[in-house]
A and B are shown apart, each in its own frame.
Chain A
Amino acid sequence: MGLILIAAVALPFAGAALTWWLRRSGIGVAAAALALVAVAVLPAGRDERWWHAVEFAWAPLIRLDFALAVDGVSWPLALLTALLGLLCCLHNARTGSPVLTALLLAVQGASTAVFLADNLVLFFIAFEAVLLPMWAVIHRYGDEATRRHAAGKFALFTVAGSLLMATGLFAAVADTGTAGLGDVIAAGGVSEPVSLAVFVLLAIGFAVKAPLWPLHSWLPDAHTAAPTVGSVLLAGVLLKLGTYGLIRVAGGIAPDGAAEAAPVIAALAAVGIIVAGLVCLAQPEIKRLIAYSSVAHMGFVVLAFATGTEAGVRAALFANLAHGLITPLLFFLAGALKTRTRTGQLAELGGLRTAAPALAGMLGFAALASLGLPGLAGFWGEAFTVYAAADRGGAWIALAAIAALGAFLTAAYLLRMLKHVSHGPQAAAVEGIPGATAGELAVWSPLAAAVLALGLAPGPLLDLLATGVL
């Protein structure tokens, strides 16, 4: 199984190189499909804590090993990455440039490496490796007017975060004397005196990526300017790097610091939930609205993590995955809408329900999922964020109430969006647009099915997350 573990990381890179070289998107789709298969078979024959692991020395003097491992926490994220990678390649294969496919695969490969890395230095390198291809996706293929500014902002923010994170990682390595992620976690993390400093450095780095208010301001610009597939990967995968890092890496290697800093993190998360929700409520552009909504959703994840309880961490991991399914779906739909109508301004849209019923139906479904409707994937994580905060008691109950209020705001701005987009008489931009094609439905439906499945049966995933190395 070690080979398959390597294949899960290597296949996207190989596909990226070949697609770049031969300029054929089909190769990229095949590589992404193979990568998905490779990730999907990983649960077979698994061991207790780490399911499988491989390790090769690379540069022992800087404690860099090529060490990959997979467990119940990283596997779902790797699967999500592979799925979204494949869907993006499929989406792009029909219309987009092969170079874009290659860049998407590079992002996918690096992200998978982040999720599977069992060596902190490798983790950092993989984390950094995501940056350039994503920058290129935004910068080269993004929205004409804003892409340069957005790409630059994205890159600078990210690199600032990841280098601070690296400092934290190396401080942990120096303190514990090992760079194995699993080893550090098993040893109970870094020693108490440095724990807070390490956690703060790591948390700042991951908070940029996650993003946690007020380090989020790169996100609306980047997500809005990026092409559809770029937004999908940004929301579905890149944000997950931040939350995964926060929960597994920062929480794992500096648990004492995490506990100490939890109130601050939780308060910021709560502020983020409310502020982002309110900004969404007045947002005139659909893509930017969805982008901002991510800040609120990730606020739930961070808040749940900050409670530090068992239920909180599981809720955080679950909400993380749910967001990774729902928001990409919303971005796909917003992209389909924008290419048809050539506008994303809510004021210029309307009547989609009669013009393109399937598209409007999907949009409604995704919006309901995003607002945390019980029975769909978005519910469990966010509702149990409220539970976890309520469970801590005291001032945390206020945070629980703020989170619940945030869920209300989510409903408010998404319904406002639906009202402008789907309902009412047909706007000029919407008249005569084509309905959803079979190809588009094929890209959307796996996400919709997963949202429904996770919503109706969250148990298996929660049980899987519970077995993770945390």
Chain B
Amino acid sequence: MGAFAWALVALPAAAGLAGLAVRRRELAVWAAVGAPAGALVCAVVAAFTGPAVSYTIADFGSVRVEAALEVPPAAGAVAVATALVSTLVQLYSVAYLRDDPRYVPFAAQVNLFCAAMLLVVAADDLVFLLIGWEVMGACSYLLIAHYAKLPSAPGAAAKAFLVTRFGDVGFVVGVMLLGAAAGTFRIGELGEVGPGVAAASMLLILFGCIGKSAQFPLQVWLPPAMAGPTPVSALIHAATMVAAGAYVLTRLLPVWPSELLPVVAVVAAVTMVGAGLCAFAAADVKGVLAWSTVSQVGFMFAAVAVAAGDTALFHLLSHAAFKALLFLAAGVVIALAATDGALSTTRIRPSASPLVFWSMTVGLASMVGLPPLGGFFSKEAVLGAAYEAGTSAGVVVFWAGVVASILTAAYAGRLWLLLFWRGGPKERRTAPRPEAAALWTLLAGTATIGAVYFTGPLHVPELHLDLMALMLMATVAGLYVVGDSWWRDRARDPDRLLGSTKHAFAAGLGGDAFATAAARRTAQAATGAARLLDERLVDRAAVEGTARAAVLAARRTATGHRGGLVTYLRLSIAGTLLLAVVAIGVNLWA
């Protein structure tokens, strides 16, 4: 069965690398859809067989890096979700980018992206995992910068890569500390490291995961990343990059010292609530969805904070389904409305494309947690885990989760109302067939993912009736507030509920602007100092200064020797006498 584990990663990776070299679109299409589909088959097989393979790829003497793949059932489920979403995104892109001249490299990069995520999911060696982890960052950079004409794209792409890479400073140091202490990078063998090292390295790794998952305070890269094509957003948000941070934390839960879990809880709580508010105020469709992702991943972190790894994965899976559905549907909505996605202008009638309408509706319903959709079960499981934990971390994330649920309902309701119930162009349009197929599949997935709760490989807490009631109340409360505002004045955006703070929230509370400015200032000051030190002090003063001094001394020497015989005799006699005096003096003294 090992071959399936290898093929899981190797298929899309090979297709991606080969795709970078081909030119023909037809070939690229086959590779684009075929490779993740193949990976999907492998993932399904692996999920049921649970293969484990390893092979030493780098031997550094005191420690080895092993290409170790292990696919326990939980990882298998995530792998299936990743491969499925990737396949659907590729399928969708065939139609979505039908006129794009740079489709071929795009498809190859998506395949690499998919391979990288599958590597993260299946790897059992932290350094091996790091390969997928960072390749994903690089692919996100390439994909977000896809649109050559969009002026904001290169900056957004670089920001996405750099912010996650900034997190990786911590991640890499953490992994290396852990590896040095344990003498191995195998996740399964990390168990016994000292509490001090474990605490330090896990905090560092957490920093990396925060960056990857766009959690507070490194959430700034995700909203600008919307500059990429919509399928890329679906890919990044649904089942790959953003989810990877939460996923890795669940893998490393056994190493976490439990005293440190409140740190995760605080991160999760701040993120869930803050991002929910930002989503409520966001000014465009994809912005709402982006902030909602940040908030929803916060739920996964919340589950991690109460040491409920499988619960986090459950939410990851259901989030993958509905978020992919939402993004792909949003892409069609924006295309139908023929706008740039701003909420003030984007509007279609439900009748314009029933498939899209229902896709959005089901996706949003799942996100707010309406039964019997996947989101209901997974969110309830997270709150249930927090409820059962009985720790301070549990208390924090529980109440933050409740507040976030209200906010989720509010921003989802707002989005739904603004998109579909403000009129719009009359003519009917059908989405192209590949796009429709992707939407249908995801609709089915979103609707049925809750079944994992009953059948699946994941160990999640029992359903609590009281919690269900609380959650539903929260949801209804959120929906009511928005609906009430909407019915009072249909001409105005419900985000007026936030009053004058709405602009601040729409701008992500200035986090992005602040981070950009701070980074720029710091960089300017630091590079200024470095150039002063390096170019002025070391190069110009010390090195060139020495050279200038030598030349100056040379001129002095030359002038000092002018003057013919008399000068010569003076120099000679003085020099010889000096020599004699030195010799006698030193000799007598010694």
Flag whether B577 is at the interface (Cβ < 8 A).
no
Asked whether B165 lies within 8 Å of A419 as measured between CB atoms, the reply is no
Flag whether A281 is at the interface (Cβ < 8 A).
yes
Asked whether A457 lies within 8 Å of B57 as measured between CB atoms, the reply is yes
Closest chain B CB from A408 CB (angstroms): 5
Flag whether A412 is at the interface (Cβ < 8 A).
yes
Q: Which residues from A are CB-within-8-Å of B145?
A: 423
Q: Find A309's partner among B20, B62, B162, B538 (CB 8 Å cutoff).
A: B62
Known: A217-B538, A281-B527. A415 touches B60 (CB 8 A): no
Q: Which residues from B are CB-within-8-Å of A463?
A: 59
Asked whether B61 lies within 8 Å of A466 as measured between CB atoms, the reply is yes
Known: A278-B527, A282-B531, A462-B59. A383 touches B151 (CB 8 A): no
A275–B177 Cα distance when bound, in Å, is 25
Interface secondary structure of A, over-half rule: helix
Asked whether B61 lies within 8 Å of A311 as measured between CB atoms, the reply is yes
Q: Which residues from A are CB-within-8-Å of B523?
A: 278, 281-282, 412
Q: Which residues from A are CB-within-8-Å of B168?
A: 404, 408
Flag whether B543 is at the interface (Cβ < 8 A).
yes
Flag whether B387 is at the interface (Cβ < 8 A).
no
Flag whether A40 is at the interface (Cβ < 8 A).
no
List which A125-181 residues lie within 8 A (CB) of chain B: 153, 156
Q: Find B530's partner among A217, A278, A387 (CB 8 Å cutoff).
A: A278
Asked whether B63 lies within 8 Å of A401 as measured between CB atoms, the reply is no
Asked whether B530 lies within 8 Å of A274 as measured between CB atoms, the reply is yes
Closest 7 CB pairs of A and B: A310-B61, A278-B530, A423-B154, A282-B527, A374-B131, A311-B60, A391-B180
Flag whether A427 is at the interface (Cβ < 8 A).
no
Asked whether B533 lies within 8 Å of A275 as measured between CB atoms, the reply is yes
A351 closest partner in B (C-beta): B148
A275–B534 Cα distance when bound, in Å, is 7
Asked whether B530 lies within 8 Å of A424 as measured between CB atoms, the reply is no
Asked whether A419 lies within 8 Å of B155 as measured between CB atoms, the reply is yes
B112 closest partner in A (C-beta): A375
Closest chain B CB from A56 CB (angstroms): 36
Q: Which of B132-140, B236-244, B361-369, B476-484 contacts A (4 or more CB under 8 A)?
A: B132-140
Mark each residue of chain A from 378 to 416: 1 if its CB lies under 8 Å from any CB of chain B, else 0: 011001101100110100010011001101100110011
Flag whether A263 is at the interface (Cβ < 8 A).
no
A33–B165 Cα distance when bound, in Å, is 41
List which B142-177 residues lie within 8 A (CB) of chain A: 142, 145, 148-149, 151, 153-155, 158, 161-162, 165-166, 168-170, 172-173, 176-177
Q: Which residues from A are CB-within-8-Å of B170?
A: 404
Mark each residue of chain B from 170 to 195: 1 if its CB lies under 8 Å from any CB of chain A, else 0: 10110011011000000000000000
Asked whether B62 lies within 8 Å of A310 as measured between CB atoms, the reply is yes
Q: Which residues from A are CB-within-8-Å of B166?
A: 408
Flag whether B542 is at the interface (Cβ < 8 A).
yes
Flag whether B518 is at the interface (Cβ < 8 A).
no
Closest chain B CB from A403 CB (angstroms): 9
Flag whether A314 is at the interface (Cβ < 8 A).
yes
Further 8 A-B residue pairs, CB within 8 A, beyond A314-B60, A466-B59: A214-B542, A282-B530, A373-B135, A374-B132, A383-B172, A404-B173, A415-B158, A459-B57
Asked whether A375 lies within 8 Å of B58 as measured between CB atoms, the reply is no
Interface pairs (29), CB distance under 8 Å = A153-B543, A217-B539, A217-B542, A217-B543, A274-B530, A276-B534, A278-B526, A281-B526, A282-B531, A310-B61, A310-B62, A361-B20, A364-B142, A368-B138, A374-B127, A375-B131, A386-B173, A387-B176, A390-B180, A400-B173, A404-B170, A404-B172, A404-B173, A408-B166, A412-B162, A415-B141, A423-B145, A452-B17, A466-B61
A424–B141 Cα distance when bound, in Å, is 14
B116 closest partner in A (C-beta): A375
Mark each residue of chain B from 511 to 553: 1 if its CB lies under 8 Å from any CB of chain A, else 0: 0000000000001001111110111001100110001000000
A383–B130 Cα distance when bound, in Å, is 10
Flag whether A435 is at the interface (Cβ < 8 A).
no
A354–B145 Cα distance when bound, in Å, is 13
Asked whether B158 lies within 8 Å of A458 as measured between CB atoms, the reply is no
Residues of B within 8 A of A (CB): 17, 20, 56-63, 105, 127, 130-135, 138, 141-142, 145, 148-149, 151, 153-155, 158, 161-162, 165-166, 168-170, 172-173, 176-177, 179-180, 523, 526-531, 533-535, 538-539, 542-543, 547
Closest chain B CB from A426 CB (angstroms): 9
A258–B169 Cα distance when bound, in Å, is 29
Count chain B CB atoms within 10 A of each CB in A153, A156, A314, A415 and give the residue with the most: A415
Q: Which residues from B are CB-within-8-Å of A309?
A: 61-62
A375–B154 Cα distance when bound, in Å, is 23
Q: What is the interface residue range for chain A against chain B?
A: 35 or more
Flag whether A279 is at the interface (Cβ < 8 A).
yes
Count chain A CB atoms within 10 A of each CB in B141, B148, B170 and give the residue with the most: B148
A218–B538 Cα distance when bound, in Å, is 11
A411–B172 Cα distance when bound, in Å, is 14
A397–B127 Cα distance when bound, in Å, is 18
Asked whether A458 lies within 8 Å of B57 as measured between CB atoms, the reply is yes
Q: Which residues from B are CB-within-8-Å of A373?
A: 134-135, 138
Mark each residue of chain A from 295 to 316: 1 if its CB lies under 8 Å from any CB of chain B, else 0: 0000000000000011100110
A282–B534 Cα distance when bound, in Å, is 12
A424–B145 Cα distance when bound, in Å, is 10
A393–B170 Cα distance when bound, in Å, is 16
Q: Which residues from B are CB-within-8-Å of A457?
A: 57
Q: Find B527's partner among A153, A279, A380, A425 (CB 8 Å cutoff).
A: A279
Flag whether A353 is at the interface (Cβ < 8 A).
yes
Asked whether B162 lies within 8 Å of A415 as measured between CB atoms, the reply is yes
Asked whether B538 lies within 8 Å of A353 as measured between CB atoms, the reply is no
A458 closest partner in B (C-beta): B58
A411–B59 Cα distance when bound, in Å, is 26
A275–B158 Cα distance when bound, in Å, is 22
Q: Find B58's partner among A217, A380, A401, A423 (CB 8 Å cutoff).
A: A380
A363–B135 Cα distance when bound, in Å, is 17
A314–B64 Cα distance when bound, in Å, is 12
Asked whether A419 lies within 8 Å of B158 as measured between CB atoms, the reply is yes
Known: A275-B533, A311-B60, A386-B176. A411 touches B162 (CB 8 A): yes
A217–B538 Cα distance when bound, in Å, is 7
A275–B539 Cα distance when bound, in Å, is 13
Q: Which residues from B are CB-within-8-Å of A458?
A: 57-58
